[in-house]
């Protein structure tokens, strides 16, 4: 990394490195990234269409799933096209303002997804603890309030990121060692005291993903407590089965973050290119797999998908 002894002024254009050290393999990496993008778009659009057309799915759990699919589509739309531009056309230049825009929207959609997963945990909690009042508690007005809260939290938490980055005046280099403009990646190439920026980055993680994961764990603790009060084993299994899809999605979404945090605490340092690949997968794999999980585990959705394929064959 260049020294700050010969610092550079705030640039008009940054250079996105893609996957540093593996530039010769960008063409190879473009194939799975493109497939992930196509599968994600097809899967989430299918979920949204099925929920819209199937009136029996107009209930809180599936309306929250529709929100999740919408956020997933936004997340891959602001990440993958830029990555493919780097991999296919070597389009590595990004203006400073465009970098600030990416810096806000990419983590915002990620924080929104985390918030929706917390809302879905609350949905399962109400369904098991208060089944007779389920639709009364989680009516449309409550769902709108939950959606607005998720949106407001993301905007409040991530708005400082581009503002703080805009105040950085000098840099060690104009090359960002990522395939997108990550806030901490930009901060780490800046000169001067960046301790406030690091503290802010940690606060974002704690106030969003950390907060959500804590309350999801609490929700499922209460859910398990309620389930094991049910005398019938068959009824227990039926109650837990309604949480299966959500638990799979939670595990997929949070496990990379937990692994990364634990690795840093334990002092394990991954190779930079491996860290960047894993960071990219944070944003790409859950949006691709979420519709597959819910599609496979939801009877109405399986029937709709089979009906669509049957019509296409005919």
Instruction: Give the model's confidence band at 313: pLDDT under 50 very low, under 70 low, under 90 confident, else very high.
Output: low
| Average pLDDT score over residue span 153-167 | 93
Domain range spanning residue 158?
A: 11-312
Phi, psi of 144 (to 5 degrees): -65, -45
pLDDT tens figures, 76-110: 999 888 888 888 888 889 999 999 999 999 999 99
Predicted TM-score (pTM) above 0.95: no
- With contact defined as beta carbons under 8 Å apart, do 184 and 201 qualify? yes
Residue 246 has pLDDT above 90, yes or no: no
CATH assignment at residue 243: 1.20.1070.10
Q: Please report whether residue 261 resides in a domain.
A: yes
Q: Please report whether residue 170 resides in a domain.
A: yes
- With contact defined as beta carbons under 8 Å apart, do 135 and 60 qualify? yes
- With contact defined as beta carbons under 8 Å apart, do 246 and 195 qualify? no
Phi, psi of 21 (to 5 degrees): 90, -15
pLDDT tens figures, 134-155: 889 999 999 999 999 999 999 9
Q: Please report whether residue 1 resides in a domain.
A: no
* Spatial CA neighbour of 295 closest among 7, 68, 23: 68
CB-neighbour burial class of residue 10 (10 A; exposed 0-12, middle 13-18, buried 19+): middle
- With contact defined as beta carbons under 8 Å apart, do 7 and 191 qualify? yes
Q: Please report whether residue 3 resides in a domain.
A: no
* Spatial CA neighbour of 242 closest among 84, 118, 61: 61
Residue 309 has pLDDT above 70, yes or no: no
Q: What is the pLDDT of residue 159?
A: 94
Q: Please report whether residue 24 resides in a domain.
A: yes
Residue 68 has pLDDT above 50, yes or no: yes
Q: What is the pLDDT of residue 1?
A: 46
- With contact defined as beta carbons under 8 Å apart, do 284 and 76 qualify? yes
Average pLDDT in the chain: 85
d(CA 279, CA 162): 20
Q: What is the pLDDT of residue 2?
A: 46
Q: Please report whether residue 2 resides in a domain.
A: no
For the chain, percent of residues with pLDDT exceeding 90? 32
| Average pLDDT score over residue span 288-314 | 72
Q: Please report whether residue 4 resides in a domain.
A: no
User: How many domains are contained in the chain?
Assistant: 1
* Spatial CA neighbour of 168 closest among 11, 10, 2, 16: 10
Q: What is the pLDDT of residue 302?
A: 73
Q: Please report whether residue 143 resides in a domain.
A: yes
pLDDT tens figures, 167-223: 888 888 888 888 888 898 899 888 888 888 989 988 998 888 889 999 999 999 998
d(CA 114, CA 211): 10
Task: Give the strand pairing for 175-176 and 13-16.
Answer: parallel
Q: What is the pLDDT of residue 216?
A: 93
């Amino acid at each position: 990394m260049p020294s700050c002894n010969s610092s550079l002024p705030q640039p008009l254009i940054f250079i996105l490195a893609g996957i540093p050290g593996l530039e010769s393999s960008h063409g190879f990496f473009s194939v799975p990234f493109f497939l992930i993008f196509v599968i994600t778009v097809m899967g989430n659009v299918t979920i949204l269409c099925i929920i819209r057309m199937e009136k029996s799915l107009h209930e809180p759990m599936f309306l929250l799933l529709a929100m999740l699919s919408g956020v997933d589509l936004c997340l891959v739309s602001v990440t993958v096209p830029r990555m493919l531009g780097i991999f296919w056309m070597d389009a590595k230049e990004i203006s400073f303002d465009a970098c600030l825009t990416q810096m806000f929207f990419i983590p915002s959609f990620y924080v929104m997804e985390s918030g929706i997963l917390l809302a879905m945990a609350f949905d399962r909690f109400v369904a098991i603890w208060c089944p007779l009042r389920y639709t009364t508690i989680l009516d449309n007005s409550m769902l709108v309030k939950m959606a607005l809260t998720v949106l407001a939290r993301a905007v409040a938490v991530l708005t400082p990121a581009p503002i703080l980055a805009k105040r950085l005046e000098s840099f060690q280099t104009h090359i960002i060692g990522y395939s997108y403009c990550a806030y901490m990646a930009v901060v780490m190439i800046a000169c001067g005291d960046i301790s406030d920026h690091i503290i802010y980055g940690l606060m974002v993680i704690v106030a969003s993903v950390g907060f959500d994961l804590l309350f999801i764990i609490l929700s499922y603790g209460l859910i398990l407590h309620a389930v094991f009060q049910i005398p019938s084993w068959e009824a227990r299994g039926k109650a837990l089965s309604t949480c299966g899809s959500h638990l799979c999605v939670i595990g997929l979404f949070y496990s990379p973050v937990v692994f990364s945090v634990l690795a840093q605490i334990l002092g394990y340092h991954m190779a930079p290119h491996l860290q960047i690949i894993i960071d990219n997968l944070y944003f790409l794999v859950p949006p691709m797999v979420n519709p597959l999980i819910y599609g496979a585990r939801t009877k109405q959705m399986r029937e709709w998908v089979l009906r669509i394929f049957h019509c296409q064959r005919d």
